[in-house]
A and B are shown apart, each in its own frame.
Chain A
Amino acid sequence: MKVLVKTALATLCLSAGTAWSAPITFNTALPVHEGGWVLREQFMYMKIADDPTPAQRDMRVSGVMSVLGYGVTSDFALFGMLPLFNKRIDISMGRQDITRRKSGVGDLTLLGRYTAYQYDAPGRTLRIAPFLGVKAPTGEDNARDGMGRLPPPVQPGSGSWDVLGGAVLTYQTLDFEIDSQVSYKANREANGFQAGNVASLDTSLQYRLWPRSLGAGVPAFLYGVLEANLVHSARNRSGGADDPNSGGTTLFITPGLQYVTQKWIVEAGVQIPVSQDLNGTALKNDYVFTTGFRVNF
């Protein structure tokens, strides 16, 4: 269970990390202009179930990821990401079903991105931008209910200071855009628990469906989107030992749509796990529905 929550949330966080981008599930290197701001709000609903054990665990997470980006220069941008979660897990214990839940603000991630390479030509651009960030333990990590301390996946925060980094490549033309991102998140220990590190490789294709031919001015675009996220999580460590029922590799495919104007973007997509190679009895992901908007100002 932990690995899937961690995987999905890590993907969502990194996606918010470069919030000016066109992809839905991760970020690319489109510019935030110098002195400019981008606000992104992403709403998501995640269902994680398919439990092979008698506990029949069923976890649902809904949340809002708020992202604010600022262009320090034309090449360097800073981003802050703050999630708000509502987590719930239902567990069957014999004849009794129990529910544990928690809502709250999660951990704040701060991230800087530098465009190291840029090639511009008429109607197209190629950019490569490494990024580096830190996740601060701003979310509650010791929440309790009547049964005691909530398990780590249900806690809004992790309690640990973590670092993440990677690089994103964007090739954009007037007709389509391809983005690819490689990232790594190193998690640290807190409260006797250390989530496994997460490595991911993400790719996105956005293809202009409308208008079919461009007229004068700056028309709005409707993009059809197809994205793939390959995410590998290492095993968690708890009490100094690896958790055999955690970690694994998941491949998500995300079809979606985006409507892009000069000042705002609305988008929606459904992340569907097409391959899940998980360790032990880790819960499998059913789907992640994501929708949101972005505003330039």
Chain B
Amino acid sequence: MKRILQICVLAIALTLGMAPAVAAPQTYKLHVDGLSCPFCAYGIEKKLGSVKGVQRIDVDIASGAVAVTMAEGATLDEAAAKKAVKEAGFSLRKFEQLQSAPQGASAGPAK
């Protein structure tokens, strides 16, 4: 009985210890040229928001930076980002992949 109990405890410990880490969402920073008024920012949110896997978008108009947070396990392809920015009427100057956002990080929802 004692041995069975030891095996159960070990199994539970191994299960907890070896549980795969939940992948944190990937976040990307897009530097967008031409973004200079609030009315135009709507298009970039709409276009990037329609890219598969995009979960949240934060536009900072002063710096021309757009932070894109992906759903768990999803990644953003630079070509897809460039296409979305172009369709919104702007130019993608720089594409950066940031460190994975911590779980529960707050950001604006994809629109």
Chain A residues in the interface with B (C-beta under 8 A): 20, 22, 30-36, 71, 73-74, 118, 120-125, 172-174, 177, 214-221, 260-263, 265, 294, 296
Q: Which of these, B36, B39, B43, contacts A174 with CB under 8 Å?
A: B36
Pair B91/A120 contact, Cβ less than 8 Å = yes
- Inter-chain residue pair count (beta carbon < 8 A): 101
Q: With A122-B64, A263-B42 in contact, is A172–B86 under 8 Å at CB? A: no
Within 8 Å CB of B36, what residues of A? 123-125, 172-174, 177
Within 8 Å CB of A33, what residues of B? 42-44, 46-47, 87-89
What 9 A-B pairs have minimum CB-CB distances, sorted nearest first? A31-B89, A33-B43, A120-B34, A120-B33, A125-B34, A214-B62, A34-B87, A120-B91, A262-B42
Q: List 27 A-B contacts (CB under 8 A).
A: A33-B89, A34-B87, A34-B89, A36-B43, A36-B46, A74-B86, A74-B87, A74-B88, A74-B89, A120-B91, A121-B33, A122-B31, A123-B35, A125-B33, A125-B90, A173-B36, A174-B62, A177-B37, A217-B59, A218-B38, A218-B41, A218-B61, A219-B61, A260-B38, A261-B39, A263-B42, A296-B43
B93 contacts the other chain (Cβ, under 8 Å)?
A: yes
Say what secondary structure dominates the interface of chain B. Answer: mixed
B110 vs chain A, min Cβ distance (A) = 14
A265 to B62, CA, bound (A): 19
A261 to B37, CA, bound (A): 8
A262 to B89, CA, bound (A): 15
Q: With A74-B89, A120-B33, A121-B33 in contact, is A216–B46 under 8 Å at CB? A: no
A86 vs chain B, min Cβ distance (A) = 30
Pair B43/A216 contact, Cβ less than 8 Å = no
B78 contacts the other chain (Cβ, under 8 Å)?
A: no
